[in-house]
C-alpha cells in the first residue's frame, strides 16, 4: 500500500510547477495562467506536507486513480490518503514538467505531465500523470487525476527504448479500438483494456473496471444505429517506457447524427502488449473560438 500511495503523491505533484520558465514557451492565456496557479498550490501543498491545502485544489466529487491500485473518491478520502503519505514519508519532494495541455471545451482542460520524486535515502523515481480540470464559477480545480507508474532512473534512461516503434504500436491499439467500435464488437474492444481500467464519458459519468466499461459500450451500441468513428492522433508522450499518453480528435457518426470530439487515452505496457488503462472522453458542443488551441511543451 505504501508504494501505491507514493505513486499517488507523485501524480498530484506533477500537476503543478509549470508556472516558471515553461510558461514563457506557451501561448499567453488567462486559463493557462489560472491552471498554472492551481498547479503551484498543489506543488506547495505536496512539498510542504499540507494535505488540507491539497484538498482545497479539488473540485466537487473528485476522483484520484493511483497507478494500478485503488480508485480514491471524494475530498475526505483524498485528504486522508495524503495525511498518511506525509506521515510515512517525511521530507518528500517532487519536480514535474508539463508535456502538453488541451482544452476540449471552454470549461474543461486536460494536462499530462512527467515528474521526478525524491524520497529521503531512496533512488529518484520518475513517472507521469493525466489531470482533468474543470472551471466552475470562474475558478479552475482538479476533477480527475490518473496517476501513472513511478520507476527508478535506470528504467527511464533505457538506451534501447525505440520511441517511434512504440508510438506505432500504440497507434495500432487505437486502430483496433476504431475497428471494434465501428463494427460494434464489444468482445474485441475489451481485449484492449486492463482489468482495472477507468472510462470517463462526456456527460461526466465514470466507469471503473473492465465489466462496467463493457456494459457502457453495449448500451452505447444499443442507443446508436450505424455507429462509426475515425480517430486522428494529436500527440503522444511516454512519461516512462511502459506508459503512453495519447491525445486524439475523432469524428463520430451514426444514423441521423454526427459530431466531433476529443479524448485522452492512457496505456500501459504489460507482457510486451500495450493495453488501455484510462480514457477521458470529451465532446465539444460546438466550435468555440474562445477555447485555447492545444499547447505542446517538449
What is the mean pLDDT for each group of 10 consecutive residues in the chain (298 residues)?
A: 36 34 48 89 92 95 78 93 93 83 82 84 80 91 80 58 90 96 95 90 80 92 90 85 86 85 87 91 54 40
Say if residues 113 and 147 touch (Cβ distance below 8 Å). Answer: no
Closest alpha carbon to 86 in 127, 39, 125, 54? 54
What local confidence, expressed as pLDDT, does residue 295 receive?
40
139-152 vs 193-200, strand pairing mode? unpaired
Judge whether 2-156 and 163-287 match in fold.
yes
Closest alpha carbon to 261 in 182, 181, 201? 201
Q: Could you give the CA distance from residue 54 to residue 79 in angstroms, rounded to a whole number? A: 7
As given in the structure block, the three cell numbers for residue 3 are: 508504494
Q: Scan for cell 486522428, then name that residue.
A: 232
What local confidence, expressed as pLDDT, does residue 115 receive?
81
What local confidence, expressed as pLDDT, does residue 75 receive?
96
What local confidence, expressed as pLDDT, does residue 225 receive?
87
Say if residues 200 and 277 touch (Cβ distance below 8 Å). Answer: no
As given in the structure block, the three cell numbers for residue 171 are: 497507434
Say if residues 263 and 280 touch (Cβ distance below 8 Å). Answer: yes
- Domain limits, the chain: 2-156, 163-287
Question: Cα dihedral angle (189, 194, 112, 149), rounded to 10 degrees?
Answer: -160
**DSSP one-letter string for 208-250:** ESHHHHHHHHHHHHHH-TT-EEEEEEEEEEEEETTEEEEEEEE
Closest alpha carbon to 23 in 14, 33, 13? 33
Closest alpha carbon to 132 in 117, 121, 142, 120? 142
What local confidence, expressed as pLDDT, does residue 292 receive?
46
Q: What are the b/e assignments for 13-51, b being 16+ CB within 10 Å?
A: bbbbbbbeeeeeebeebebbebbbebbbbbbebbbebbb
CATH among 3.40.50.1110, 3.40.50.2300, 3.40.630.30, 3.10.450.50 for 163-287: 3.10.450.50
Looking at the DSSP assignment, which residues form a beta bridge with residue 258? 253
Q: Could you give the CA distance from residue 142 to residue 78 in angstroms, rounded to a whole number? A: 12
As given in the structure block, the three cell numbers for residue 180 are: 471494434
As given in the structure block, the three cell numbers for residue 6 are: 507514493
What local confidence, expressed as pLDDT, does residue 104 receive?
74
H-run or E-run covering 296: strand 295-296
What local confidence, expressed as pLDDT, does residue 151 receive?
58
CATH 3.50.20.10 is right for the domain spanning 2-156: no
Say if residues 96 and 114 touch (Cβ distance below 8 Å). Answer: yes
**DSSP one-letter string for 22-46:** GGGGS---HHHHHHHHHHHHHHHHH
What local confidence, expressed as pLDDT, does residue 35 receive?
92
Amino acid at each position: 500500500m505504501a508504494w501505491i500511495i507514493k505513486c499517488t503523491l507523485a501524480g498530484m505533484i506533477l500537476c503543478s510547477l509549470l508556472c516558471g520558465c515553461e510558461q514563457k514557451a506557451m501561448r499567453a492565456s488567462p486559463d493557462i495562467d489560472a491552471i498554472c496557479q492551481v498547479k503551484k498550490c498543489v506543488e506547495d501543498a505536496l512539498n510542504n506536507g499540507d494535505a488540507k491545502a491539497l484538498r482545497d485544489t479539488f473540485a466537487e466529487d473528485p476522483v484520484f486513480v493511483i497507478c494500478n491500485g485503488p480508485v480514491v473518491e471524494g475530498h475526505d478520502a483524498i485528504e486522508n490518503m495524503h495525511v498518511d503519505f506525509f506521515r510515512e514519508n517525511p521530507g518528500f519532494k517532487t519536480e514535474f514538467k508539463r508535456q502538453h495541455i488541451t482544452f476540449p471545451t471552454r470549461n474543461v482542460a486536460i494536462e499530462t505531465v512527467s515528474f521526478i520524486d525524491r524520497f529521503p535515502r531512496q533512488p529518484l523515481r520518475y513517472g507521469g500523470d493525466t489531470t482533468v480540470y474543470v472551471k466552475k464559477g470562474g475558478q479552475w480545480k482538479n476533477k480527475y487525476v490518473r496517476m501513472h507508474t513511478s520507476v527508478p532512473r535506470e528504467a527511464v534512461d533505457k538506451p534501447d527504448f525505440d520511441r517511434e516503434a512504440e508510438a506505432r504500436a500504440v497507434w495500432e491499439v487505437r486502430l483496433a479500438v476504431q475497428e471494434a467500435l465501428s463494427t460494434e464488437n464489444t468482445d474485441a474492444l475489451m481485449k484492449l483494456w486492463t482489468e482495472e481500467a477507468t472510462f470517463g464519458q462526456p456527460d461526466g459519468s465514470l466507469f471503473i473496471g473492465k465489466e462496467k466499461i463493457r456494459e457502457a459500450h453495449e448500451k452505447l451500441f444499443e442507443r446508436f444505429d450505424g455507429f462509426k468513428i475515425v480517430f486522428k492522433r494529436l500527440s503522444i508522450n511516454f512519461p516512462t517506457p511502459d506508459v503512453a499518453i495519447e491525445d486524439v480528435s475523432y469524428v463520430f457518426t451514426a444514423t441521423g447524427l454526427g459530431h466531433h470530439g476529443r479524448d485522452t487515452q492512457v496505456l500501459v505496457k504489460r507482457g510486451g502488449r500495450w493495453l488501455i488503462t484510462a480514457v477521458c472522453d470529451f465532446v465539444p458542443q460546438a466550435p468555440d473560438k474562445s477555447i485555447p488551441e492545444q499547447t505542446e511543451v517538449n
